[in-house]
């Protein structure tokens, strides 16, 4: 069983069957699954996206400055983080939201040593605000947190996607899913695991990634228990 994990949640997963926004029942179900792995004694850090609230593509269509659009996305991750914190605490899981953007009224500033202390005290951590800089995705934020907090693995919980495919399964019926793939292959073939910056950070810091479908109940627990599920992206020398 993994001892410390970074769980990368798709922001779009929080909207449930809706088009945009936060669906309370969906968030509560996610919190219930996180509680199951928390009760196994696993230290959990969560990085959540903001695709349910804001997408950079909308900013582009509006003719917005890229940096401005990215900062709006970072604020969206804080909103999602607070919603997830509320859901986790409603099922009695002690949780802290930490952000690299200064929003002291609602979240703690991200400080590595403080985060480690929270882990020691048995708290689930939600890292919001992305990296704090525009032009970087929440995938990159997850890779950075995994590296500096010495996580065993990044659990990439995808919205309706079972794993890593050789081509887009939504466009190609003959797409084949990998059980395992190396990070070198991910970078060379530009497979849709995470963005290239995040993938490079994982490779340089020897961090494995497990890609799985979060919409199937029980998959989070299977992932933590290292049961065969999704696609394992392995670091290999």
- Residues annotated as binding site? 8-11, 51, 55, 70, 131-138, 159, 165, 168
The 108-109 sheet, strands edge to edge: 108-109, 95-99, 124-128, 43-48, 4-9, 153-158, 208-213, 231-234, 180-182
Structure tokens at 82: 């607070």
- Under DSSP, is residue 66 helix (H, G, I), strand (E, B) or coil? helix
Instruction: Dump strand ranges (E) for 100-191.
Output: 108-109, 124-128, 153-158, 180-182
User: CA 127, 131, 136 angle in degrees (round to 5)?
Assistant: 130
The alpha carbon torsion through 172, 21, 81, 104 (nearest 10 deg) reads: 140
As annotated, the binding site for ATP includes 8-11, 51, 55, 159, 165, 168
- For the record, the structure tokens of 173 come out as 């019926």
Annotated binding site for UMP: 70, 131-138
Do residues 22 and 80 make contact, with C-beta atoms less than 8 angstroms apart? yes
């Amino acid at each position: 069983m993994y001892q410390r994990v970074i769980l990368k949640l798709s922001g779009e997963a929080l909207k449930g069957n809706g088009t945009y926004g936060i669906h309370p029942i969906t968030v509560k179900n996610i919190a219930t699954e996180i509680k199951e792995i928390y009760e196994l004694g696993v230290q959990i850090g969560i990085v959540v996206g903001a695709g349910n609230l804001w997408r950079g593509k909308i900013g582009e269509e509006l003719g917005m400055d890229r940096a401005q659009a990215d900062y709006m996305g970072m604020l969206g991750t804080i909103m999602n983080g607070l919603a997830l914190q509320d859901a986790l605490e409603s099922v009695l899981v002690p949780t802290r939201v930490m952000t690299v953007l200064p929003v002291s009224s609602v979240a703690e500033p991200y400080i590595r040593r403080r985060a480690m202390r929270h882990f020691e005290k048995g708290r689930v951590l939600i890292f919001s605000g992305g990296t704090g800089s525009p032009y970087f995705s929440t995938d990159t934020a997850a890779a950075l947190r995994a590296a500096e907090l010495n996580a065993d693995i990044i659990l990439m919980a995808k919205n309706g996607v079972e794993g890593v495919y050789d081509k887009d399964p939504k466009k190609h019926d003959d797409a084949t899913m990998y059980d395992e793939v190396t990070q070198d292959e991910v970078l060379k073939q530009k497979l849709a695991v995470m963005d290239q910056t995040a993938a490079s950070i994982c490779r340089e810091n020897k961090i494995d990634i497990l890609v799985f479908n979060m919409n199937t109940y029980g998959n989070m627990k299977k992932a933590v228990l290292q049961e065969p599920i999704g696609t394992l992206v392995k670091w290999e020398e």
